[in-house]
Amino acid sequence: MKLGVNIDHVAVLREARRVNDPDILNALYVACQNGADQITIHLREDRRHIQDADAYSIMKHSALPVNLECSINKSILNIVTDLKPHRATLVPEKREEVTTEGGLDVFTYEDEISYAIELLHDYIIPVSLFIDPSIEAVEKSKELGAEMVELHTGSFANIFAMLNSSLSHSNHSIKELDLPRHELSIRLEKSIAAISEAAKHAKKIGLEVAAGHGLNYHNVSHMMSIAEITELNIGQSIVAKSVFSGLAQAVKEMKRLTTR
Ligand code: PXP
């Protein structure tokens, strides 16, 4: 399995203070040196984390292939064709959303998506489409000319978290999933089956298959058991864990500097 490490969240922390710390290139080097197979970044229209300059310097310095996520907005696509990443992953984007909610609507926006794919192909950039796990969306992705699909695992991850973590007792509990445990278990099985069937169908019709969104240290094993998925793109949980694997050392270091 290929691991794409999404380093956007390091830039989220930097942008929260509008400084140059943490340095995104340090995140790139650490990911490259510790087993990542690919670097994933999302150049959002609102530039809430990765900036254009980050994307250019990551392209210049990355020792690993770069998977650039982007919307089908024409001005963003123009930057992507100039950046020439190893792959572009087309994702839906709404300014007000906290993160990418739901997959690309490959039916409503088929003309725009097909234009984007043709444009990217003109620049020899392979294209993946970030879609909800359904056979219909997989078939449409193939018809539109994509080489790959990334199956959106957000719904699976939400059900998993409501069933197996303290999320349902927190301020971020998901109202639509405030359901009896047996109902959540049934939905979890169904969501895994939908991902598995979509992955099998995608492979059968000649598409490469990735998956991502909301994957973490507890739920990732379910994706590992789907043989057709050959790549996972993971960001939030890796950056969240790194706070705790590094916080003790960071406090110790500052204590040393502030001890007379
Ligand atoms: N894949 C895609 C297409 C995404 O949009 C995202 C979120 O930017 C991810 C993977 C990573 O999701 P997470 O940060 O929840 O691991």
Determine if ligand 1 sits within 6 Å of the CB of residue 93.
Answer: no
Ligand 1 pocket member 152 (CB < 6 A): no
Q: Report residue 216's pLDDT band, with 50, 70 and 90 as the boundaries.
A: very high
pTM of the model: 0.95
- Which residue type occupies 130? F
Any atom of ligand 1 within 6 Å of the Cβ of 69: yes
**CA 253–ligand 1 middle distance (angstroms):** 32
Asked if residues 154 and 174 have their Cβ atoms less than 8 Å apart, the reply is no
CB atoms under 10 Å from CB of 5, counted, come to 25
For ligand 1, whether the C-beta of 216 sits within 6 Å is no
Assigned CATH class of 2-257:
alpha beta
Which pLDDT value is given to residue 100? 65
Backbone angles phi, psi at 12, to 5 degrees: -60, -45
Residues that are catalytic: 42, 69, 213
Looking at residue 94, what is its pLDDT?
78
CA-CA distance, 193 to 155, in Å (whole number)? 12
Q: How far apart are CA 30 and CA 24, in angstroms?
A: 10
Q: Among 93-102, 153-162, 213-222, name the one with the lowest average pLDDT.
A: 93-102
For the segment 174-189, what is each residue's pLDDT rounded down to a tens digit? 999 999 999 999 999 9
Whole-angstrom Cα distance, residue 31 to residue 25? Answer: 10
Give the mutation target among 48, 100, 167 for probing the ligand 1 site: most ligand atoms within 8 A of CB. Answer: 100
Measured from the Cα of 215, ligand 1's closest atom is 16
Atom 7 (ligand 1): residue with closest C-alpha? 213
Cβ(241) – ligand 1 distance below 6 Å: no
How many CB atoms neighbour CB 88 within 10 A? 29
Instruction: Give the pLDDT confidence score for residue 97 in this predicted structure.
Output: 67
Nearest CA to ligand 1 atom 5: 100
Give me the amino acid identity at 67. Answer: N
- d(Cα 43, Cα 82) in Å, to the nearest integer? 13
